Structure 1
Amino acid sequence: MSTLLEDPREFSQQKKAELLGVLQERFEKNSSRHPEIHWVNVKEKLEAHTHKLWSLYLMESTGGEPDVIGYEKGCFQFYDCAPESPQGRRSVCYDRDALESRKKNKPENNAIDMATSMGIQILTEAQYRSLQTLVEVDKKTSSWIQTPDNIREKGGALFCDYRFGHVFTYHNGADSYYSSRGFRGVLNV
């Protein structure tokens, strides 16, 4: 994809066609992620729900490399399948409360607000582990995951990575941020 568009009104038919081409190529190249799912059905669903293309565009433009990983409850599920946590979504704390609680050296954004503005959701731990069965990701980076309220209320947040052939789930202060930690999202179409 070319440069990041800031305004969905700039999302021309040409850009939509370009995005569909990128998604189709990735879909066909990685058929093991979605056996028994056919691109013609995915494309038909995307063309019926064109507003979802903007979210996929933002996933792609921030380095997520979205791809179909399943079909559930009448929806195709697109996950960020980039080898490392998406470059354009790193160095963010967990949520707005964490961002506002920082007195010094605040990051520019937070994962929850970014995901919401993109029209996606941050992966749950179960979704993250499921993704790892299809493609090994985050061997050098880590990704925030949805954090249960009882942990978040105490100031913590969860993140995952893949090391030594194993998925690890860790905790950190929700206000922490690192250049190697971002977040992965899911979009149901």
Structure 2
Amino acid sequence: MTTSPNSPTKELSTEQREELLKALKARFDKNIDRHKDLEWANVQAKLEAQTEKLWSLHEMERTGGEPDVVDYDNETGEFIFYDCSAESPKGRRSICYDREALESRKEHKPQNSAMEMAAAMGIELLTEEQYRELQELGKFDLKTSSWVKTPATIRELGGAIFCDRRYNTIFMYHNGAESYYGARGFRGWLRV
């Protein structure tokens, strides 16, 4: 069964589902400091009940995001997953910010945009605030950078923002939304 972002069915085979759950559990157990007081059995039960969310996590994993539980929303009863790969996910680099930016390029167009990829995967880009929260859980993007959700006021003027960690400091920068670099991708998040 295909799991392409363009696939009309967003379902995993039994084997894919088992492999993903095994990988997520191993990451959960290895990084318990990211989700103290949460139990894997509760996370797994939620995942197994929401196959479309499981498919989105598979896409995060497939593109190098290494998703992990970073929080639990007591009001909604949802677990929150962020991409926790050390560097911006490899399968999501060399992309501009959104469709408008992609179409504005006259030549040397990237293959995709961050906003379109995230939508196809069923996830959202981290906001700057979420990116800073992630950095409290470890040291991420020491060599890469990640597009983050850009406020409309900046995007309307042609810009987009991205973040990284250098000199033990989290930086937020701006660029033209149409720009793209081999070391810039995006990090996403998902509620389950």
TM range (shorter): over 0.9
Aligned residue for 1:178? 181
Aligned residue for 1:25? 26
Q: Deviations over 1:115-134 (max 9, x none)?
A: 00000000000000000000
**Aligned ranges for residues 67-86 of structure 1 at < 5 Å?**
67-72=68-73, 73-86=76-89
The CA deviation at 1:47 is: 1.0
Larger mean CA deviation between 69-78 and 121-130 belongs to 69-78
Aligned residue for 1:12? 13
Q: Deviations over 1:42-94 (max 9, x none)?
A: 00111111211100000000000000000113210010000000000000000
TM-score calculated relative to the size of structure 1: 0.96
The CA deviation at 1:5 is: 3.8
Misfit runs of 4+, over 6 Å: none
Aligned residue for 1:39? 40
The CA deviation at 1:14 is: 1.1
The CA deviation at 1:30 is: 0.3
Aligned residue for 1:187? 190
Pairwise CA RMSD: 1.2
Query: Aligned pair 1:164/2:167, yes or no?
Result: yes
Q: Which runs of 5+ in 2 are unaligned?
A: none
Q: In structure 1, how many angstroms separate the alpha carbons of the residues matched to 2:52 and 2:3?
A: 15
1:15 aligned counterpart, secondary structure: helix
Q: Which runs of 5+ in 1 are unaligned?
A: none
2:115 aligned counterpart, secondary structure: helix
Mapped contact 2:11–2:52 kept (Cα < 8 A): no
Q: Deviations over 1:100-156 (max 9, x none)?
A: 000010000000000000000000000000000002100000000000001000000
TM-score calculated relative to the size of structure 2: 0.94
Aligned residue for 1:55? 56
User: Alignment partner for residue 118 of structure 1, among 118, 121, 125?
Assistant: 121
Larger mean CA deviation between 18-27 and 44-53 belongs to 44-53
Mapped contact 2:72–2:79 kept (Cα < 8 A): yes
Change (3 A) 1:45 1:175: same
Mapped contact 2:82–2:190 kept (Cα < 8 A): yes
1:134 aligned counterpart, secondary structure: coil
Aligned residue for 2:153? 150
User: Alignment partner for residue 139 of structure 1, among 139, 142, 148?
Assistant: 142
The CA deviation at 1:169 is: 0.1
Mapped contact 2:11–2:51 kept (Cα < 8 A): no
**Aligned ranges for residues 87-98 of structure 1 at < 5 Å?**
87-98=90-101
